[in-house]
Each structure stands twice: as structure tokens, then as C-alpha cells.
Amino acid sequence: MTNRHFIHFSFIILLSAVLILNGCAKIGIMARADYGTPTIWASGSCSSHPEEQTKHDQVVVMDPVMCEYKQESHRDPKGNTMTVHNSNIGTSVTSWVNVSVEKGPPTNLSQYADTRGGIPDHYGCSTKWYDSFASIDVGGTRTEVIWGENCSMDGSTGLAIAFIEQEHYVTVFISGATSSATLSNDTTLTGILSGISWVSSKPWNTNENTRSFSINKNTRNVKCKITPFVKSTNLSKKEYLESIGLNKPKSKEDAEFCFLFSDNFSDQFRRDAMELHDKLFEIIGAYDRFVYYVYTLDGDNEEAISILNEIGVWGGNITSIEQVFERRSCLSAFWRFADFAEAKLNEYSFCNWPNPFEHTPWIANQKNKNIARYEVMHGWAHEYFHHFQRAHTFERALGMSSECCGLYNPIEAPAWWVEGAAGVFPNYFLKEIYPDLSLTKENNFPTPKRKGHDGSVEDKICSAFSSGGTWSYWIFIYCDEEGVYGEVKKSMMGQGSRDVDIKCKEFTAKEESRDTRKCGVGGSFIANVYLAYITSYETMFFGILEDSWEIGFPASFEKHVGMTMDEFYVQFTKFMREGNIDDPPPQGFFPKEPLSKLVDFSSVDSG
Ligand SMILES: [Zn+2]
């Protein structure tokens, strides 16, 4: 596509008042006007890859649509200021559409057609006429338009159409069609025209952002970009999800996600949340379709709930925050506008999290509020890691068929891995980003250190004790992996402690289910570190996942680890029972490198 520049030739509007005095003396008074800035943009259905487009409720493969948007300011010869919202939407050098939206020209089309032709002279149209019985879809069906045939722009010949949209004067130049008859035969051009929507903020240029978003909002309570709903496709579910890059790490700008807050969260909390997720996007990649909602029951949730309804969460009929609270769960999923399996095309991860400082027992019970903030961050990283895991299983569920609630064709991923890998990740992640966090910097917190639970700040951040609900254990927020190793080793050697949730003497298939596991959070943590120790961190974090959609997790485990899961349980148990009970882990058991050196998350390849 050529690098067309945006050219706008202003209408010349005569707003000068001419006063005739005494029938002879003429004094012209120029009244300069500023017509103001248009409040709408013509937004195209843009893409940068020849993948899929939603068209007439079907996903069809077509040429990429490139979009560029520009606000321009002009002054007409009378000195009037004109601001124009200019959109260039095209699929090729010859097939493109330019839309100019402005305020100022009269909004009475027929009168304007009579007086000045209605389509600016710079389009050079050979014929122009007013039509009140038209039928053309340009961001909605138009019946009243001014047609201009055999027009030209930027060296291309085309058709021009002018009409009124929301009290704005809109002129469209369509390159590649010269008459309404040739236009109606060109499905690419009519597709571009009918794909136009009217939005209030400047859309992303294709090179800034390759996606079109039907929700694109950035306010204090809503940071949200959601692509249009897809009703059906002739691709298989996996093919479709692959075609939109669901399993690909994206840039923050490109990815589809939504963060929603009640109005009464502090700025500090919001900053913590966005800062932490930005770091996750940097290290692990921004993955599409992540919806995160944190709320208080007594806060104002109107804005957030209206977005949930717009997205179509649970059908899009949420009327109160209590309904959201009833179904609280992180990380669960929803299907837009429907609750049936076909809607897998529109499945989104959903973190529906009531205020953690109030409703998450072990965080609510944490007396030190700053430690609680690190715990919340640990939780955010854990849940986002689940979102990452889920992205690579496509429409198949990340779980076991033996587990609760009728999962959709689960890959048979065991709880010890799903939860354990999602337990290793936040620890290594927090260790890397700890010095850069505002929470750390603003409090001048020292490097955390295990000091035998002596109550010092460095010890507390390293391993805080938390209890609440079914949880009661030392949370290794930042650094106490060796402490956990010691607990697991003691337990497996028959001398477990009552204080911690590690209650197993061996590691068995019982660890595959959340209902039967005995080795606790710590046990699955160490099992995954061991798995990485005998393979690699990339294998543990996502290598096994890469083939799981196709052959299931157990077979993929065997392929990537070189033994069955049962053989792994025996080997791990034997390893933990070796030597003396107080022996530290062998050299190199815990890595020294930061997470981003250890693992290249962008190398994940699950397609
Ligand atoms: Zn989890």
C-alpha cells in the first residue's frame, strides 16, 4: 500500500457578514470562526495479517485491512479553523477508502448540494448529485447522500459520497470504484465501508496496533481493549484461536485485555496492579483475553459492570455487584454472551476477585499491610501464569477429567504441575522485579533474607507467615526456596511439621488432583523445581504444554521429560529422601540467574 498522505481541502464557508450601509458604502466584516473539533472518528475493521475478518457474522479469510488515522487542522481562506478527523482504510494500493469527518459545513445536505455541490471541489468529480433514496452501507445504512462520480484523490480515480453522521459532515472517497454500480460489485470495498464504525476516540493506526477493538477505554476504573464478538467461523476452534494469535505473546499495545476496578480503590493499589501486570507483560508476554476485575461490595461499580455487560460476561445481564460476588473466582473463564460449549471461540480468562485485603483470608489476616501488598502481587503473578498456561491449551481445559465440574476436553494436566509451576513462577518473577517495584523503592526495603523468622523486615518479606481459610503456612514471598525444600524433605523423610501444609511421605499420583493431594503448595513447588533441575526451566514452564493440546499432558510429559509421570514421582521421592534430613539441596538445584535469563518466554511454540 502506498504511503498516502492525508490531504484535506477545506470547504470554503462564507461566514463573513457583509453590512451594506447607506446603499453605497460597503464594509465587509470578517467573522472568523472555529468550528471546533469533531467528536467522532470513522474506525475501520483493521488487521495487519491476511488472517480473518468478522464479516456478516462469519469469520472469513481476506486481505489485511490497513488503517491510518490523523487529526488535521486547516484554515480556510477566510481564516476559519477547521479540524478534520481523517481515516485511511485500505487493502491494497488500488483498493482503499478515505473518510473525512468535520464540523462546520451545514448539515442540511440538500441545501448544501444546491448551493455548493456538497462535495468539495478538490475531489474534482465530474458529476455530483443529491440523492434522498440511496441505499448504501457506510458505517450504517445511508439513504440521504450526495454522490460524486469520476472523482480523484492522490492520483487515484474514485467515487465520492457525502453524508451527515451525528451532526458531522462526512466525505468519503472510494478508490477503485468510479460509480455506485461498480462499487456495489466490489465486495472488498463494500466490506470496508460496511465495516466502518463511529467511535469517540482516535483509533489505533495499523502500525501502532494491529487489532480492532469494539471496546477501547482508558479511564481511572477501566483499562480495557476488547475485540469484536465472533459468532461463528468455518475454521476449527483451534485453528481459529491460533489465527487470532491467542497462544502468542504480544506487546502490551497489541494484546486484548481488560482491567476493571471499583471507584474506591486507592491510586496506590491501581498503580501496584498496573505496574505488576506491565512487568508480567514484559517478561512472559501480553496474552489476549485476560479480564481482571477487582472490587469492593460497597464501592461504586457501575462503570465496571457496564463494561462486563458490554463484553457479554455471563450473557451480559449483570445488574448488581452481588451477582459478581456470588460467582467470585480467579482464575475462571467466561464465554461471551452465551454459556454453551460452541462459545469456546469467545472464551476469556476471568479473574473475578473481591478486594483481597478484605476477602482473601491469608491476605486479609496479614497485619503488615506492605507484606500484604507483596502477597497480592504474588497472587496476581500466579493467576496471570494460569492465563499463560491456558492460552496454550486452546479450547481444551487446563485440568484433569477426574476433577470437578465437567471440564471441556481437559488435557489431563495434573494439579501438582498446574499449581506448582504457577507457584514457582511468581517467586522467581518477584525476585527479579523486586528492586524495581514502587512498593520496594518507596519504603527503601532491604534485599529480603531468610533470618529464621526473626521478625525483621528482610525476613518477613522473604517468608511471611500467613493463615486464613484452609491456608496456614510460611509464604515464601520472595526468597525462601531453601526453607521450603527443607520442609518438603523433612515431610518425605517422615518428620513433617504440623505448622505447614506439607503432609506427604512420598510423592504420588494423589498430587494430580486438588482434592487428594497431600504434599501441599510447598510439595508441588519443589516437585516443579526438581522437574526443571532434571530438564530445564523452559521444559517445566511450557515445553510440556507445547504438545499437550495434541497428545495430552501425560504423553507430552513423557516426550519432553523422558519418563512417565509415575516414574517421575518415584524418582522425585527417592531424590528427596537421599542423605541426611538437614542436607541442603544439591548445588545448582535452585538457579542463580534471574528468571528472564533462565527462560525465554517468547520462544514458546504451541501452534
Ligand atoms: Zn492457582
| Residue 524 DSSP class | H
Query: Ligand 1 centroid to 524 CA: how many Å?
Result: 12
- Going from the Cα of 528 to the center of ligand 1, the distance in angstroms, rounded, reads 14
pLDDT for residue 408: 82
Interstrand relation of 290-295 and 257-261 (parallel, antiparallel or unpaired): parallel
Q: Answer for the pair 167, 37: CB distance below 8 angstroms, yes or no.
A: no
Cβ contact 454:467 at 8 Å? no
Q: Please tell me what DSSP assigns to residue 455.
A: S
CA gap 564, 558 in Å, rounded: 5
How far, in whole angstroms, is CA 459 from its chain's centroid?
Answer: 36
CA of 198 to the centre of ligand 1 (A): 40
Q: Quick one: DSSP state of residue 207? A: T
Question: Rounded to the nearest whole angstrom, what is the distance from the C-alpha of residue 92 to the centroid of ligand 1?
Answer: 46
Distance of CA 254 to the CA centre of its chain: 8
User: C-alpha cell of 36?
Assistant: 471546533
Residue 184 CA to residue 191 CA, distance in Å, equals 10
Decide: 140 and 164 in contact? Cβ < 8 Å: no
CA of 383 to the centre of ligand 1 (A): 6
Q: How many angstroms is it from 421 CA to the middle of ligand 1?
A: 9
* 371 within 8 A of 363, measured Cβ to Cβ: no
What is the whole-number distance in angstroms between the Cα of residue 601 and the centre of ligand 1?
Answer: 19
Which has the closest alpha carbon to 424: 468, 388, 371, 467? Answer: 388
The rounded Å distance from CA 419 to ligand 1 centre is 5
Ligand 1 centroid–CA 9 distance in Å is 58
- CA distances (Å), origin 252, targets 53, 209, 319: 22, 10, 31
Domain boundaries along the sequence of the chain: 17-199, 213-359, 391-607
Residues with Cβ within 8 Å of residue 239, at least 6 apart in sequence: none
Q: Which residues of the chain have pLDDT under 70?
A: 1-33, 47-64, 76-77, 204, 206-211, 339-343, 405, 466-477, 498-500
Helices (H) and strands (E) in the chain, counts: 21, 24
Q: C-alpha distances in angstroms, 145 versus 114, 132, 137? A: 13, 6, 11
Please tell me the distance between residue 512's alpha carbon and the centre of ligand 1 in angstroms. 14
Q: Measured in angstroms, how far is the CA atom of residue 357 from the centroid of ligand 1?
A: 18
101 neighbors 41 (Cβ within 8 angstroms): yes
Residue 387 CA to ligand 1 center (angstroms) comes to 10
What is the CA(439)–ligand 1 centre distance, in A? Answer: 24
CA of 392 to the centre of ligand 1 (A): 16
Is-cis flag, bond preceding 545, omega within 30?
no
Compute the distance from residue 423 Cα to the ligand 1 centre, in Å: 8
Give the CA angle between residues 328, 329, 333 to the nearest 5°: 115
Question: What is the DSSP-derived secondary structure letter of residue 542?
Answer: I
> What spacing in Å lies between the alpha carbon of 310 and ligand 1's midpoint?
28
Per-residue confidence (pLDDT) for residue 25, from 0 to 100: 37
**422 alpha carbon to ligand 1 midpoint, in Å?**
6
Burial 426-456 (b: 16+ CB within 10 A, else e): bbbbbbbbbeebebbeeeebeebbbeeeeee
d(C-alpha 24, C-alpha 234), whole Å: 76
Separation of CA 331 and ligand 1 centre (Å): 7
Alpha helices, H only, 365-493: 369-391, 415-433, 438-442, 457-462, 481-492
Give the chain's length.
607
**Ligand 1 geometric centre to CA of 330 (Å):** 8
Centre of ligand 1 from the C-alpha of residue 418, in Å = 7
d(CA 35, ligand 1 centre) in Å: 55
For residue 141, what are the β-bridge partners? 137
Q: Tell me how far the alpha carbon of residue 143 lies from the centroid of ligand 1, in angstroms.
A: 55
* Cα 4 to middle of ligand 1, angstroms: 50
Q: How far apart are CA 572 and CA 302, in angstroms?
A: 51
Angle between helices 369-391 and 267-284 (to 10 degrees): 40
Q: How far is the CA of 521 from the centre of ligand 1 (A)?
A: 10
The amino acid at residue 67 is: C
CA–centroid distance, residue 582 to ligand 1 (Å): 30
Q: How far apart are CA 361 and CA 365, in angstroms?
A: 6
Rounded CA separation 434/448 (Å): 9
Q: State the pLDDT at residue 392.
A: 96
Q: Determine the pLDDT at residue 60.
A: 46
